[in-house]
Amino acid sequence: VSTPTSRAGRPGRTALSLVLCAGLAAGVAGCGLLDRGSEPGAEPAPTLSASPLPSTAAPAPKAELKRYYRQDLAWSDCRDGMRCAQIEVPLDYAHPDANSISLALLKVPAEDPDQRVGSLVVNPGGPGGSGIEYAARADLAFGAELRRVYDIVGFDPRGVGESTPVDCVADPELDTFVASDPDPDTAAERDATARMLAELGQGCVEHSGDLAAHVSTEEVARDLDIIRAVLGDRTLSYFGASYGTFLGATYADLFPERVGRMVLDGALDPAATTEEINLVQARGFETALRAYVRHCVDQGGCFLGDSVQAGTARIRDFLDRVEKSPLPGRDGRQLRIGNAVLGIWLPLYSPGNWPVLDTALQAAFAGDGAILLALADQYTSRTASGYADNSLEALYAVNCLDHDDAIPVDEVPSHIAEFEKASPTFGAIFAYGLSSCAQWPVHTGRVAEPVEAAGAAPILVVGTSRDPATPMRWAVSLAEQLDSGVLVRRDGDGHTGYRAGNACVDRTVEAYLVSGDVPDGTVRC
């Protein structure tokens, strides 16, 4: 399998090589197996003075879109004190009078209605992550100051979850896809990978119809503006994590005059090609793995070895053995090579989860793959009864529309040396991610382009120095591209920076969103 490309939360594959870059970091915290981790210096911040959003008039919608912009939003009670609703958006913005699809929304009302600033629309990443589930866990994902003055509003993007979803293949086929070899070594394995990817894409067209051609990030950004309007907000206040930063940046570029207070955490680089994305992510995951091994070595008596080089070599040797001889897992399933890679990747998203990886690897070295398989299942939303959501299918459906620059799988070997230089452990896996969308049946011709969002209100871009999925260089690039970008640099490990235990990041983000305090230049945390 190749990796899905990290447009934001998890890595992908040729049969998983698109990294979902992750905003799923917030999501996994609620699953019980992993936790977000912490860093020194996290203490409660003083109560902030809420500042009203600037009062600017949003331009009138185009005539053919008025019925969507002016639809009534009917909230109903759900989930113990939360509010849920459905709205309609055009399937195809080029033909808005034709078919429509539905989007599911969830709101956690502001805890201090008298101080309410407005709605904060949130997206956790993916692509394919559920904004509904993200908002529903607002008590974990967002600080008390934000919950006090904002309605936290999440939505499942088109193609995802409780909104009109894409459907591609049945669970057994998805299991085979996820477990397959992410760096196929032989012509036969490469042919098998190409066949699985073709079947996934063709399944999306067969089971999802026209929707398969209309789940691009640009279309989701246009949906976001309809959401802003039906919420009654003149401008959009927005928090996007991982892939959610690409969505936010796309929105800002399309509707710069409608940007309110926007924070993009764990930034993607909209100008990066698939090759650039995968190469940077290969370095990012290698850096995160080495930070994990270094921590183990520094504790003394490390089970991986007495040096970083020895530790990473042992992990690579272990993966080579699993490729040849899968380990017993759980519920009668085996830990295969694709599962093992994902099981290692997931805990690298947060240093708080490194002890879980210790336990999983030690068990696997002793012949028991159950914990690593459980981690891989968590990464792909698989439960004992099958996949809990369609996030993996949506990941491919969105990424392959957004980046139509894949290469055939038989051309990948010429790139492997460059990728293995960037990541001796995972390089070939990320190299095969270059072909993840080569067999996709829907082509858009879209290529990566920088954003500008000229005239937009200040946009905070948060980057973390050793983020595996969205490395700091992408945050730097995005902040430079945006006309009003302000960079917040977090020195630390793990994916995304807000609510990761760094008080400086948390104060900066919340002071901007709540009080409108714009940092004077780059912030170093």
Distance CA 426, CA 440 (A): 24
Burial of 35 (0-12, 13-18, 19+ CB in 10 A): middle
Conformational region of residue 445, where left means phi above 0, alpha means psi within -120 to 50, and beta covers everything else: left
Distance CA 173, CA 180 (A): 11
Note whether 344 and 312 are within 8 A (CB): no
The residues annotated with a catalytic role in the active site are 242, 467, 495
Helix (H, G, I), strand (E, B) or coil at 213: helix
Nearest to 266 by CA among 464, 18, 4, 473: 464
Distance CA 22, CA 502 (A): 18
Distance CA 278, CA 11 (A): 9
Q: Helices marked H in 326-386 — which ranges?
A: 337-345, 354-365, 370-380
Task: Look up residue 11 and give its DSSP letter.
Answer: -
What residues contact residue 115 under an 8 Å CB cut-off, 6+ apart? 50, 148, 149
